[in-house]
Structure 1
Amino acid sequence: MMENTDNMKHCLTLDERKCLRISGVTAVDDYNDSEIHAVTVCGRLLIKGEKLNIETLDLSLGELVLGGAVSVLAYSDDVQTKSVFKRLFSQ
């Protein structure tokens, strides 16, 4: 069952580059100890670092907590998904 993301807020809290708490997470597409690919209500989020580990993932609440040495946080729009929807609904 898909959660309603209309009222979900997105927030990041990074504590000493070792503990990252994220709200507004709708999915985690891929992860390993050096990269985590998350989908948030504000776009795709790439997290890079060393010894990254997911401590908590609760998609019903939209929460992700991870540990490790965080070095990069990068957002991107979901261009591929938008273009698919655009093609489906264009006349």
Structure 2
Amino acid sequence: MPSACPTLNGVALSFITPFKVGQALGMALLACLAGTLGHLVMKALKRDRGVTSWGLQGQSTTGAGGLLDRVDALCFAGPVFFHSARWYFGL
């Protein structure tokens, strides 16, 4: 289940998007769900292939093992958000 904080941030920032408040809520929730799924998919792929770390192990203070660990959610959520907005709003 995605966190409520990013979804609420999406609603709070709806004034700078082309979406109305309800639409911004839906799109923010979709982006959060897709980001969570992207993280889980990349984690499963890493575990399946036996990869312990994508980058330099032990040099990160945030717990991320490399660049891909930091952007795995974005790599999945970005295309989902783009195509959803394009399909739903006809952009």
- TM-score, length-scaled by structure 2: 0.28
- Greater percentage in helix: 2
- TM-score, length-scaled by structure 1: 0.28
